[in-house]
């Protein structure tokens, strides 16, 4: 496997992603690669081939956005199957990479494959980080560009549902991110409560006029 060339190839391709992908841009892929490798270390993954395949999957997991928005995971697998053999990847290695890519499809389905669990947790690592708020706004902006508009209350409700139902799959991510994710959820709920209270007061004042 010539992993450096395979990774350089897809990173170069990702430079051509639409500018409207303010969340799912090249920067997100690089963030997921970093998170995946950190989680692999914390999970005790030491096998060189496993680490290489994990790196490649992280690099290619959103490459399908080059051709489509919906169903981008399958499109990313199609790209991997087309180009990775040229970089020396075997058929079995490519299929494992595709398994890892498909596991990130929402709702996430990593099963019992350790590498799939790592990729899934890396993909949503930001939920339990201090930069959750600015990153979540890039997703809101991306969805708005696609015609999915949310007012502040609607966006916070969506975040509350997502944070409430999300789970981390690895012990490392749970230990490192779950507490902070719950803190973000509490912040979202506090903002919702404030907006609800403000709307109630406004309604009462309007009724009294």
Tally of structural domains, the chain? 1
Residue 42: its H or E element: helix 26-42
| Cα–Cα distance, 116 to 120 (Å, whole number) | 6
Token pair belonging to 99: 């398994």
pLDDT given for residue 197 in this prediction? 84
Contact 79, 87 (CB under 8 A): no
The vertex-145 CA angle with 140 and 150, nearest 5°, equals: 45
CATH number at residue 140: 1.10.1300.10
Length, in residues, of the chain: 209
Residue 208 covered by a domain: no
Residues spanned by the domain of 186: 3-201
Q: How far apart are the C-alpha atoms of 89 and 167, rounded to whole Å?
A: 32
Decide: 84 and 94 in contact? Cβ < 8 Å: yes
Mean pLDDT of the chain: 95
Judge whether residue 209 has pLDDT over 70: no
Q: Tell me the mean pLDDT in the region 133-145.
A: 97
Give the distance from CA 193 to its chain's centroid: 27
> How far is residue 77's CA from residue 136's CA, in Å, rounded to a whole number?
26
pLDDT at 47 over 60: yes
Q: Is 112 within a domain?
A: yes
pLDDT digits (tens, 9 = 90+) for 82-135: 999 999 999 999 999 999 999 999 999 999 999 999 999 999 999 999 999 999
User: Is 169 a domain residue?
Assistant: yes
Domain presence at residue 209: no
């Amino acid at each position: 496997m010539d992993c450096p060339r395979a990774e350089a190839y897809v990173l170069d391709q990702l430079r051509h992603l639409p500018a409207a992908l303010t969340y799912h841009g090249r920067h997100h892929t690089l963030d997921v690669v970093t998170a995946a490798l950190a989680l692999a270390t914390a999970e005790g993954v030491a096998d060189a081939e496993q680490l290489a395949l994990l790196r490649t999957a992280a690099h290619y997991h959103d490459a399908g956005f080059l051709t489509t928005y919906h169903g981008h995971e399958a499109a990313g697998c199609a790209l991997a199957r087309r180009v990775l053999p040229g970089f020396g990847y075997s058929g079995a290695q490519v299929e494992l990479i595709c398994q890892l890519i498909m596991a990130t499809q929402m709702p996430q389905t990593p099963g019992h494959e350790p590498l799939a669990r790592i990729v899934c947790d890396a993909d949503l690592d930001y939920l339990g980080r201090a930069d959750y708020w600015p990153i979540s706004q890039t997703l809101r902006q991306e969805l708005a560009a696609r015609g999915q508009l949310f007012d502040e209350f609607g966006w916070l409700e969506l975040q509350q549902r997502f944070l409430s139902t999300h789970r981390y799959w690895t012990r490392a991510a749970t230990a490192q991110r779950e507490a902070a994710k719950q803190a973000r959820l509490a912040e979202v709920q506090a903002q919702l409560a404030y907006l609800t209270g403000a709307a109630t007061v406004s309604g009462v004042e309007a009724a009294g006029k």
